[in-house]
Every structure is written in structure tokens, then in C-alpha cells.
Structure 1
Amino acid sequence: MKKSVILAKSGFLKGLNPTVTIASKVILIAFILFIVILANKAGQYFESLSTFLLYNMKWFSIGLVTLVVGFLLYLMVSRYGHIRLSENDDDQPEFSFWAWIAMLFSGGMGIGLVFWSVAEPMWHYAANPFTEGLTNEAASMSMQLTFYHWGLHPWSLFVIVALALSYFSYRKGLPFTFRSILHPLVGDRIYGPIGHVADIITVAVTAFGIAQTLSLGVIQINSGLQQTFGIEVSLVTQTVLIIVLCTIAVGSVLSGVGRGIRLLSQWNMLLSLLLVLIVLAVGPTRYILNVFMETSGNYVQNLISMGLWTDSQNDSGWQSSWTAFYWPWWLTWAPFVGMFIARISKGRTIRELIGGALVAPTVIAFIWLSVFGGSALKMEQNERIAAQQQTVVTQNQVTETNAEPFSGGVVLQATKADSTRALFTLFDNLDSNLLGKLLSVLACILLATYFITSADSGTLILCILDAAGDTEPPTSIRILWGIVIALIAWVLIYAGGLQAIKYASIIIGFPISIFILMMGVTLFYSIRREPKPWAMLPQHVHPCKEKLDGPVEH
């Protein structure tokens, strides 16, 4: 269907969908005002509802995400993997493989992975439902759990969205918006109210997900600047950071995907590689490499059991604080990241998209987590051994001792006090003060560039949704959304609404999970109707074609 027909059917005006554009912004403004005016009550309401959903629907979210992982791996190795995500089977991808990997990784998990690479292993090392805390077994399990939370499962949510959007838009010629995913179910009614509702929900969820992560990124950058340069952690500092970084992000969006976003993403990968190599060189190199190998094996070996574990016997609440909380949170990011991956994946096959956007980022994340999480764990273990030796010496010298049991080293204590300090505390204690400061500065720069790439890629997706699926939206709408995202992030920090938005993400994530389920069904229904690989080849190329398909009618 041609774009002009789509626009006519949808009632678009000057390249914009007024229904989606206006309704989504009304929802955003109303929600933010609710948080600002009734911050305490909003948090209570969201916490109560999210707790109810986690308690009663945990099995559904955990089972769904694991099902998506299995579905994608099946498609990757099946005969459907050859299908090219474009109108013509001889089209080539727009971006090189390495530029593509850099962009999808930067747009997917940049800030979050930097934030949690040390903090999450520390929390699991202190306590988890499988081992006694602060032991070697706890250290091993902490890395396995962290790999699980940042591996195939979250990326599968992004990839299923990217795959469905790429297929229906590039292969079937439907609009580059979420409404197209519903076409096998409702047909051309996607151009009416049903399609509008789908796109409005997508815009609202995307804006919340972006603002939530950007707020977290600004707070961590401020924490790093305070620990490195003594810059005060304050609303003024965070406001300046938002203004500066979002201004750069808007400039990147205006320059387009092929320039600004691509170049910044490649810069992110180079800076990340530099940080990894430095820490790998000065840190416990042998331990880090062992952790990567061992934890990767444990992850693969226990992937199915971890993916289906629901803590049914103890129901301790730990899983609701971690796994069952993570999955709805990732779901709020799925529309944005999935659309962005789809935007940069035209011309690739299903096998290339799944292999590149599911497997490659998972391996990169495992390397990152092993280097930083492994360094922190080794530091904790050394401090625990030193404390135990000191206790023995004290007991040998004095008959009675009041020595307290080991409760964690410097990184764990910093994590418990403030998770944003975990990474910078590791750097401060890794080697010399000068190197620690250098690493902290590099981490702040990396957080800033990940902030920018997340903001500009997210802004681009919001613009595309407003612009009727046009992958090159008008300049004015790009600037407008850049300002709106900056304002939302600032309001969340100003109102102290991060906790409220955290619970709200869980609530929003469950409706998106229904959408993900429908997406898998419509996608599989449609690709099954694709011609078989040999049916797409001339007779002389595949001599078995007639035997496989039967006689060719002339």
C-alpha cells in the first residue's frame, strides 16, 4: 500500500497523525502532573497495584519472556530465517554490521548496563535465595543471576518487536508503527480507532521508559562527578546536565540516523572497549576471565530452569524485587528499542536480525558484566579473607573478642548506601587514586554519551510514531519531542518521582506483555504464508524444485 493511501486512510495532516500526537501528549502531561501534585499518594497507588500484579501475574510475565526467547531461537534456525526484511530479496542492509551492532547496543542497554554492572552483583552477593550470602558460592550465583537478567531474555523483548515491525513494514508495506502488527487480526481497521489506540499506548510507554532511564543516568553522572571532583549532588547540577545533554541529543536527532546516532554509537563502543581493556589490565585479569567462562557455562546450562523458576515453594518476594520486576520494566522499553532496531535493520534477513540483535549484544553484555562485576567481587573476597585473618589473629592474642562478623567490603557498603556509587567506588579502590579518577571521568563521559544516544534514538522513535510511521519525520517534531523528553526527565527528578515511575512501569508493562503475545501470534501466522526457499529460485538453480513442489504449471 502506498504511503499516500495510508495517509489518506488515517486522516493524517501534513505528515502527522493529530489523534496520536495530541492524545499521547495529553496523557503524558496528566500523568506527570499527577506525580508532581500528588507525589506521595501516587507512589502509594502505584506500589499497591504493582505489588498486586507481581504477586498474581508473576507466572505469566516469566513464562511469556521465556516463550519469546524460545520462539526467536526457533525462527533463527528454521527455514524462515532466510526471509529478507525488505520488499526485494536482493536488497542490502543500510548500515554495516559493526555500525549496526554499535547502534542497537547503545540504544538498548547503555545506561542501565553501566549502572547495574557493579551494583547488581553486589546485591546478589549479599543475599540471594540459592546460596548463603557473602560466600564463594554466593559470588558465583550473583554473576549467574546478573547474566540472566541482562542476557537473552530482555533482548528477546526488543527483538520480537523489531522483527515484527520490520516484517510488516518493510516486507508487507504497512506503516512503520505498532498498528501494523494488528493487521492480520483486524485488517484495514488498523487505520481507524484501533490503530490509534495502539500507537498512543506505544508513545506513552516509550516516553515513560526513556524519561525513567535518562533520569537515572543523570543522577549517576552527578554521583560520579561528586565522587571524582566534589561537585555537589543537587537539583541545579542535574538540571544543567539535562539541558546540556538533551541539547546535544536534539542536535544528533536533527543530523539523522546515518550521521549523528551512528557516529555517537560507534564512539560509545570504542569508549566502552577502552574502559573494559583498562579494568581488565589493572584488575584481577585471571579471575575475570575465569568468571566469564564459568558463568557463561552456568548460564547456558541453567537457562531453561532459570527462565521458568517462579519461587513457588518459598514465595520469598526476592523474585518480585528482581526477575519479575525486571521483565515488566524491560517491556516498557520494548516498543522504543524494538522500533529503533527495526529502523536500522531494513534489508537484513530474519536470521541476521535475531543472531545480531539477540546473541551479539548478549555476549557483549556478558563481557562487560564479567569485567566490572568480577572485579568488584574479587575485591570483596579479598577484603573478606583479610577480615577473617584479622579475626583469627585477634582471637589468638586476646581471650575474649568482640569482633563483628564480616558484613561486606567497601564496594558492597557503598552499594547498600547508594547504588549509583557502586561503579565509582570500585574505580577508587581498584588501583592508584590517579587511575581511579581517570576511570571515573571516562565512566561519566560514557554515561553522558549513552544518555545522548538513548535520548536521540528514543526521540526519533517518538517522532516516527507522530509522523505516521515516516522514518524521516519533520524537523519541528524532532525538536518538540527532544524538549518534552527533557522536561519529563527533569520533572521526575524534581518531584522525586523515580520510585513512583518505577512502580508505574510495572503496571504499564503488563498490557504491553499482552501486545507482545499478540505480536508473536500475528508474526508466525504471516511468515508461515511466505513461499518456501526453493520456490523463490529459478528451476535451473534448484534442480529439485519440481520434486519438492510438484510439477510446474505452464
Structure 2
Amino acid sequence: MNISSFGFFKGMNKNMSVFTMLIILIAVFLTGYFPVKSSEIFVTIRQVLNPFLEWYYVLIVAFLLFFMIWLGMGRYKNVRLGGDLEQPEFTFFSWVSMLFAAGTGVGILFWSVAQPIIQFQNNPFTGTQMTPEAAITGMSLSYFHWGLNGWAIFSFIAITMAYFSFRHNYPLTIRSALYPILGRYTDGIIGDFVDVLAVIGTIFGIATTLGLGVEQMNSGLKEVLNINTSTTLQLIVMAVIMLIATISVLSGVNKGVKLLSVGNFWLSIIALGFLLIFGPTQYLIGLTVESTGDYIQNILRMTFHTNVTHNTDWQAVWTVFFWGWWIAWSPFVGMFIARISRGRTFGEFVAGVLLTPTLITIIWIGLFGGTALYEELFMNKDIVSAVNADVSGALFIMLENLNLGILGNITSFLMIVLIATYLITSANAGTLVITTILAAGSTAPPSLHRALWGIILTLLTGVLIVAGGLETLQAAVITAALPFSIIIIIMIAGLLKSLSLEETPVRSGNESLSAREPWILEKDVGEKGTIIDELNPNVKKLKEPEYK
């Protein structure tokens, strides 16, 4: 790859960096100067794509879910992300803390109260709305959009990148997964194009996440400190968050990112404990257990739902948005998870990345969303109207309805802090991932460019907020996800081809090394050390006709 050795772009792929910056800065300029028109364009594109995406995204996500289960339980479950004797870099607790914080921390804080309440009012799976039975369905639909299906997307990108990078010594970039399919052509313009698509999807995914989080912080400041909500305040909060995030990311994964992730994970546990003690404990436990059973029973039905028999926009508003958001977000979260997952087997990885975050998500939504539903059903609190009026304020309205006085105010303030720490974690992980891709997989990209991309992310998020808030953010991320979904399909083929060439599934502790990279050209051996597995001296070399 064309990595500059001097000047402003030293250590970076200059062509990719310049091209990506131009695209994002043009988007910033057009959206900033023509906010109304930009919003209309994004929304129109979304409306045109919805009928296609209602089944296209469904098929992709359904396949990835079953594919990941197969990888974790099938013949390749003992293949290790690294050398056969390599051990995990991080402890299980630190690993889970980081992958959850960077993955869905901000989003789940935003939607954990609002989504169950909205689904409680209207969904295609319940005949009678706003009843105790509808509450169970609303909860299980929330688990569905934040559970196994979404994490299947993240885990696929992560395991693919980790496999090619740590087991085969390829660069930690999206293009590496295409080597078995495209061969040496991935080192040229095709590979650059693939990585640029990944970066653009990542940028819009992070911008959506940051935008939602900033809106929620704005609502929290209004509830706790009586500060009126405004676009100006949101932009100020955005700038402060990104400044802290940029400083944090410069300290590296093992310091800033790890400490922040573990810290907000503990804050999350405290928040869950608070609701379990001061909320309607018996109802919360019962509702979480029953709605989890409903989720398990109906996961296939929800997974393959395409809205073909319903004349509503529910599928487009919810499932299409969430699957598009997860897909756009997946290069960012996938690379970050890959970066912290070295040394784990396929089986360990799939169990950790699919099951652990899903379990945490169920508990979180069960307690937060369940408390809001209890207030609506049994405390005569009209939280439905409040959520419909201001989705971003749902969390703080729910806490206020508990009538805990000063303790409730303290809790609301701690939730603002928690949102801020999750935003910082997502932002610094995002800038690290963007610059890692643009630096050809380097785990230590130049500090100058990490800071620069922090500024660019701030600008993009700010103009999207100004252009129309939540609706524009959702439309933008769905649009950005579509091109990358095609790359995912090619990545599936590349991973399958590579795995088929593993001579035997490698067991933990087995000192023998399997055959790797038989698609490498003989003339490439010794010339591109980044794509040669030096641990295995028996790499098969193919002649050029077999390479294509």
C-alpha cells in the first residue's frame, strides 16, 4: 500500500486520507450551508431505499447470525486469533468492558427507555397495544434490535479482521479479508476503495451515535440543571466531548480507552443496582424473565420479518434503521473488538461477543425499560406522552417519575456523566479505528491524524445535528451502510475460502501449525512481509494463473 514516508501524511496512506477527507468535508460544507435541502435529500434517499432494504438487510443479518453460531460451534471453533500457543492480551472483564462500551453503550442509553415505550404503543406483533401483554412484546422487540442479530454483525467483522491480521500477519484493515478473493489487486486502488467505504461508513455511524448521545445529554442537563435545550448547547457539548476523547485516544488503548471503558462499565453496574433496589423490583425481575423467554421463542419470526403483509412503516423506522446503523458502525466496532481480541479462539470469541453483550443488554433494557412501563401501567404516570414529545429525554423522565427527591437528582446527574463517558469511549475508539485503517493497519497511527479526525468528526456531527437532528442522522447512516453491506458479502467469501485451507482445526495447546495462505504468489514471498505468515515455513505458493 502507498504509505507516505515523509511530510504531513507520514505513516498514512496519502491517497486514501486525502480522498476520504474531501468526501467528508464536502458533506460537512453542503450540509452546513444547505441544512434543509440536505435533510430532505437524506430523507428522500431513505424513503426510496426502504422497500429494498426491508428484505435485503434482513437476509444479510439473518445469515450473519447463523454463520457466527456455526463458526463458534463448528469445526473451526478451536482456531485461534493469533499463533496456536498465543494467549489473550486482556482479561475477560477488561475485554467485555471495552467491547460493550465501544459497541452499544451510547445507543442503549438513548433507547433503553424510549424504545420499549414506543414499541408498547405500536408494533406489528401485538394485536392490542398499551396492555401488559404489549409491554412484554415491546421489551422483546427491544432485545431483538440490540441483541444477538446486531452483535452478529459486529462479531463477523471483528473475527474476520482479527483472523487475517493476527493469524496471517495481514494489515488490520478491511481489505485484508479480500486477499483470498482478489489477491494482489487488494494492494491497489480496489483495496483503497474498500477501506475508504469502511471509513465513510464508520464516520457516519459514529456521527449518528455521538449525535444521539449529545441530544440525550442536552435533555439531561435540562432536567437536572434546568438548562434549556438548544442546538448551541448541543454543539458546545459535542466540542467538549471530542476534545476529551482526542486527548484520551492519544494515550493508547491500554491506558485511556481501557480505563474509561472499565470505569463506565462499573458506573453502569451501579445504575442497574440503583434501579433494582429503588424501582419496582419484583415487576422488573418478572418482566425481564418473561420478555426474555418471548424474545427467545420469537427470534426467528422477528429475524425474518420483512413487512410484506403489513401496510405500515414500522419495519423501515425500526429494523431497517437499526440494521443499517449496526452495519455502518461495524468497521469501527469490528476493528476495535479485533484489536482487543488477540489470542482468543473462535469459540471463545463468539461466546463472548455474541452472548455476553446480549445478556448485559437484556438486563439493562429489562430494568430501565421495565421501570418506565411499570410507571405507565401501574403508577398513572403518562410517560408515553412525555416520550412521544421528547425521545431523548425518556431516561430522565423515567428517573424523575420515581419521586426519589435529591437521590433521584444525584442519579440523573450520574447518568449524564455515564452518557459522557460512553460518548468519549466511542469517540476515541472511533478516531483510533479511522486512522488505523488509513494507516494501513498500524496499531499506532500518527497522533496528528488522530487529533485531526477528532476535529472532522466533530464538524460532521455538528452539521448533521443542525441539519435536522434525529431523522437526518438516521437517514444518513442507513444511506452510508448500503455500500459497505456489499463488502460484507465479499468478506464472507474470503473468510470461507481461507478457513477451507486450514488443514485441521487447531486445538488449544496444539503445537502443530496449520497450512496458511496458499493463495500467495511465489513472487510475493519475501517482498511483502505483511502478508506472509512467518510462523509457518510451509506456506504453499501458487503460480499466477491459480491466483486469479
- What is the TM-score of this pair, normalised by structure 2? 0.89
Q: Which moved more, 1:54-63 or 1:109-118?
A: 54-63
Q: What's the secondary structure of 2:250's corresponding residue?
A: helix
Is it true that 1:290 corresponds to 2:286 in the alignment?
Answer: yes
Shift of 1:299: 1.2
Shift of 1:315: 3.5
The equivalent residue for 1:302 is: 298
The equivalent residue for 1:507 is: 479
| Aligned counterpart in structure 2 of residue 426 of structure 1, from 392, 398, 403 | 398
| Aligned counterpart in structure 2 of residue 531 of structure 1, from 503, 521, 543 | 503
Shift of 1:479: 1.4
Separation in 1 of the partners of 2:421 and 2:360?
A: 18
The equivalent residue for 2:335 is: 339
Tell me, yes or no, if the aligned pair for 2:288 and 2:362 is still in contact at 8 Å: yes
Is it true that 1:48 corresponds to 2:20 in the alignment?
Answer: no
The equivalent residue for 1:277 is: 273
Q: What's the secondary structure of 1:81's corresponding residue?
A: coil
Tell me, yes or no, if the aligned pair for 1:165 and 1:181 is still in contact at 8 Å: yes
| Aligned counterpart in structure 2 of residue 127 of structure 1, from 122, 127, 131 | 122
Q: Given the superposition, is the C-alpha separation of residues 497 and 290 from structure 1 closer, same or farther in structure 2, using an over 3 Å criterion?
A: closer
Q: Which moved more, 1:53-62 or 1:187-196?
A: 53-62
Tell me, yes or no, if the aligned pair for 1:340 and 1:457 is still in contact at 8 Å: yes
Structure 1 residues 351-375: Cα deviation after superposition (integer angstroms, max 9, x where no partner): 1111111110000000000000111
Is it true that 1:410 corresponds to 2:396 in the alignment?
Answer: no
The equivalent residue for 1:73 is: 69
Separation in 2 of the partners of 1:472 and 1:233?
A: 39
Runs (4+) of structure 1 exceeding 4 A deviation are: 5-9, 534-540
Separation in 2 of the partners of 1:148 and 1:315?
A: 21
Structure 1 residues 376-417: Cα deviation after superposition (integer angstroms, max 9, x where no partner): 111111145xxxxxxxxxxxxxxxxxxxxxxxx422111000
Q: Given the superposition, is the C-alpha separation of residues 539 and 27 from structure 1 closer, same or farther in structure 2, using an over 3 Å criterion?
A: closer
| Larger helix proportion of the pair | 1
The equivalent residue for 2:431 is: 459
Question: Which residue identity does 1:426 align to in structure 2?
Answer: M
Separation in 2 of the partners of 1:300 and 1:363?
A: 12
Separation in 2 of the partners of 1:534 and 1:140?
A: 43
Question: Which residue identity does 2:436 align to in structure 1?
Answer: I
Larger radius of gyration: 1
Q: Given the superposition, is the C-alpha separation of residues 379 and 538 from structure 1 closer, same or farther in structure 2, using an over 3 Å criterion?
A: closer
Separation in 1 of the partners of 2:421 and 2:324?
A: 26
The equivalent residue for 2:357 is: 361
Equivalenced residues, count: 510
Structure 1 vs Structure 2: percent identity of aligned residues?
40
Tell me, yes or no, if the aligned pair for 2:42 and 2:475 is still in contact at 8 Å: yes
Separation in 1 of the partners of 2:348 and 2:510?
A: 24
Question: Which residue identity does 1:113 align to in structure 2?
Answer: I
Structure 1 residues 196-227: Cα deviation after superposition (integer angstroms, max 9, x where no partner): 10111111111111122112211211110111
Is it true that 1:522 corresponds to 2:494 in the alignment?
Answer: yes
Alignment of 1:83-122 (within 5 A): 83-86=79-82, 88-122=83-117
Q: Given the superposition, is the C-alpha separation of residues 28 and 232 from structure 1 closer, same or farther in structure 2, using an over 3 Å criterion?
A: same
Tell me, yes or no, if the aligned pair for 2:3 and 2:14 is still in contact at 8 Å: no
Question: Which residue identity does 1:84 align to in structure 2?
Answer: R
Q: Given the superposition, is the C-alpha separation of residues 496 and 53 from structure 1 closer, same or farther in structure 2, using an over 3 Å criterion?
A: closer
Separation in 1 of the partners of 2:482 and 2:385?
A: 34
Q: What's the secondary structure of 2:401's corresponding residue?
A: helix
Q: What RMSD in Å do the two structures reach over aligned CA positions?
A: 2.1
Question: Which residue identity does 2:159 align to in structure 1?
Answer: L
Shift of 1:234: 2.2
Structure 1 residues 485-514: Cα deviation after superposition (integer angstroms, max 9, x where no partner): 122222222343543332122122222222
Structure 1 residues 404-441: Cα deviation after superposition (integer angstroms, max 9, x where no partner): xxxxx422111000001111011001132212211210
Structure 1 residues 136-166: Cα deviation after superposition (integer angstroms, max 9, x where no partner): 1111110111111110011111111001101
Shift of 1:536: 9.6
Q: Given the superposition, is the C-alpha separation of residues 538 and 21 from structure 1 closer, same or farther in structure 2, using an over 3 Å criterion?
A: closer
| Aligned counterpart in structure 1 of residue 242 of structure 2, from 227, 241, 246 | 246
Alignment of 1:52-201 (within 5 A): 52-86=48-82, 88-131=83-126, 132-201=128-197
Shift of 1:134: 1.1
Shift of 1:8: 9.2
Question: Which residue identity does 1:511 align to in structure 2?
Answer: P
Q: Which moved more, 1:35-44 or 1:270-279?
A: 35-44
Q: Which moved more, 1:367-376 or 1:58-67?
A: 58-67
Structure 1 residues 24-56: Cα deviation after superposition (integer angstroms, max 9, x where no partner): 000001112221222222222222221121113
Shift of 1:244: 2.1
Separation in 2 of the partners of 1:319 and 1:496?
A: 22
Q: Given the superposition, is the C-alpha separation of residues 489 and 47 from structure 1 closer, same or farther in structure 2, using an over 3 Å criterion?
A: closer
Structure 1 spans left out of the alignment, 5+ residues: 385-408, 541-554
Q: Given the superposition, is the C-alpha separation of residues 529 and 313 from structure 1 closer, same or farther in structure 2, using an over 3 Å criterion?
A: same
Q: Given the superposition, is the C-alpha separation of residues 13 and 189 from structure 1 closer, same or farther in structure 2, using an over 3 Å criterion?
A: farther
Separation in 1 of the partners of 2:474 and 2:154?
A: 19
Question: Which residue identity does 1:413 align to in structure 2?
Answer: S
Question: Which residue identity does 1:365 align to in structure 2?
Answer: T
- What is the TM-score of this pair, normalised by structure 1? 0.88
Separation in 2 of the partners of 1:18 and 1:244?
A: 29
| Aligned counterpart in structure 2 of residue 20 of structure 1, from 10, 16, 22 | 16
